[in-house]
Amino acid sequence: MRRRPLIALIAGLALALALVLVNLATGTVGGSGSEAAPEDGAPTGEAAPATGEEPAVADEEEDEDEPEDPQPTEEVAEYAEHPDGSVRYAARTDESETVIAIVVWDDWAVAYLCDGLAFETWLTGVVVEEEEDILLTDRDETIQLEGWYEDGALQGVVSNDGKHVWTFTAPVVEEPAGLYLALSDQGPEVRAGWVVLPDESQTGVAQVDGRPFPAPGFDVEDGTLTVDGTEIPILPLEYHDF
């Protein structure tokens, strides 16, 4: 009768051991077998899913790479290619009896109007940046030119104290078109001007000791004007000529 409690005890221990082994095999020791949810902010060991959107920092870097000022337009860049930084305009006036050429720098402009026979006038003046206007006069201030920019061209009016009015619309031109000049004070005093249009036609008047006559044609690459056996170079108008 004494062996029965011992046998019962051994059987109980065997059953307990068997239960422990089963629990170890199923991984449920100390828990219910489900994974615990991570605490807020704790790493989970899994990469966050990609959203396909760039982070805000990347956008800020792209903004920093953008230039503050817009790139110069093709037109402006083309103007800047002229050696002295000027922009040159040339056209026949609306009355078609005369031609005009205007050379514009940042703050200064020179214009030449002539009929290719005897009439000519040189006008100089300032560029009014605020209004983008050009106001020029001749030496005696009897002829005035007022010009303004419109549709990529220089438009304007030249008035001879109200006695005659010339109107024009002059586009930007590239060499060899433009305004040319020949000057000399060696021997006879010579001043000659030419307007060369985009079709390469040339119109000019030469003054020799104050006497006007039609200026002859010339080679725009290496032209000269011969007066009393003296060859005078013909060159595109430059800033320092007036």
Q: What is the pLDDT of residue 48?
A: 36
Tokens, residue 8? 């019962």
Q: What is the pLDDT of residue 196?
A: 98
Burial of 145 (0-12, 13-18, 19+ CB in 10 A): buried
Q: Is the dihedral of CA 158, 159, 163, 165 positive or negative?
A: positive
Q: Are 169 and 91 in contact (CB under 8 A)?
A: yes
More reliable by pLDDT, 95 or 100: 100
Reported as a single tens digit per residue, the pLDDT across 66-75 is 434 333 334 4
Burial of 88 (0-12, 13-18, 19+ CB in 10 A): buried
CA angle 168, 92, 158 (to 5 degrees): 40
Tokens, residue 5? 């409690």
Query: How far is it, in rounded angstroms, from Cα 102 to Cα 214?
Result: 20
DSSP state of 239: G
Reported as a single tens digit per residue, the pLDDT across 191-234 is 999 999 999 999 999 999 999 999 999 999 999 999 999 999 99
Mean pLDDT on 154-172: 94
Mean pLDDT on 113-141: 91
Confidence grade of residue 166 (pLDDT, cut at 50, 70, 90): very high
Strand, helix or coil at 93?
Answer: coil
Is the model's pLDDT at 165 over the cut of 70?
A: yes
